[in-house]
Amino acid sequence: MKATRTVFVVLTLVASSSRVASAQQLEPRPVPTRPVESFTFQSPSMGVRYGVNVGLPSGYKPGGTTKYGALITTDGDAFFSDVHEGAVHLDGIIEPLFIVSIGVPRSDGEQEHTRRRVYEFSPPDWDMKDPFGQAVTGLCKELKFAEGKCTGGASRFLNAIVSELIPMIAAKYPIDRENLGLFGISAGGFFTTWAMFQPNVPFKKYLISSPAMAYGDGEAFRLEEKFAKEH
């Protein structure tokens, strides 16, 4: 009798579990994302090709008259998704804006990405005698950087953003050029910090994440000190 009761209880539990399992199902839900358009362009001033991603703002309609701000994001394909998804999740909290990334196309490979970002994000006139500068010099030799393309390209890269990328993007999309921001992380964070103190830059907002302040042997701090004295 006891064995019969045990079997009955087990069968009851199995039947109950089967009913729960059969009732479970995946239900569709809206995905918090927005359209992205991607391009490349050959920079005449830098002599290299850049990948560009454009995350469209909520409410954007092609041909519309509403203008939106834009956040220019360095490191291109490497960090675009994170920045774009962050803007999507903050929809309704921050104003709608274009997320525009520029950087080495992912298809060019990791080594090319490293070469380009070290050169493009580092300031001119860095004598490379400090410990970090010596480490970067070693990296340039290891990865066989082109002659004269180890460091010091920040001014040229900033010019490519301001004089080439922004005019092309503004010609294609309704961008408010009085409402531009610049974002960078790590070495890109140093570049964004450095760019903040350059003359005649069009950016009104700067987002800086974990900047690699060792670039330039204290250059960012010297620029900030000079700016503070003059303003």
Q: What is the pLDDT of residues 35-69, one digit of tens each?
A: 999 999 999 999 999 999 999 999 899 988 899 99
Q: Is the pLDDT of residue 34 over 80?
A: no
- Give the torsion sign (CA, 143, 146, 149, 150): positive
Scan for tokens 């340039």, then name that residue.
Answer: 140
Neighbours of 58 (CB within 10 A): 13
Higher-scoring residue by pLDDT: 32, 47: 47
The Cα 185–Cα 203 span in angstroms is 17
Assess contact for 68 and 60: CB atoms under 8 A: yes
No. of helices (H) and no. of strands (E), the chain: 8, 6
Assess contact for 123 and 154: CB atoms under 8 A: yes
Q: What is the largest CA-CA distance in the chain?
A: 95
Q: What are the sequence ranges of the domains in the chain?
A: 36-230
Beta bridge partners of 53: 38, 101
What percent of the chain has a predicted confidence (pLDDT) above 90?
78
Q: What is the pLDDT of residues 161-179, one digit of tens each?
A: 999 999 999 999 999 999 9
pLDDT given at position 25: 87
**Burial zone of 64 (CB within 10 Å; 0-12 exposed, 13-18 middle, 19+ buried):** exposed
Q: Is the pLDDT of residue 118 over 70?
A: yes
The Cα 152–Cα 103 span in angstroms is 17
Residue/partner pairs of 13-22 with CB below 8 Å, 24 or more apart: none
Residue 77 one-letter amino acid: D
DSSP H or E segment with residue 41: strand 36-42
- Look over the chain and give the mean of its residue pLDDT values, rounded to a whole number: 90
pLDDT given at position 7: 47
Assess contact for 219 and 123: CB atoms under 8 A: yes
Question: DSSP 3-state assignment of 143?
Answer: coil
pLDDT band of 11, cuts 50, 70, 90: very low
Q: Is the pLDDT of residue 24 over 90?
A: no
Q: What is the pLDDT of residues 96-115, one digit of tens each?
A: 999 999 999 999 999 999 99
Neighbours of 188 (CB within 10 A): 26
Fold of 36-230: Rossmann fold (3.40.50)
Q: How many residues appear in the chain?
A: 231
Find how far residue 207's CA is from the centre of its chain. 10
Q: Is the pLDDT of residue 20 over 60?
A: no
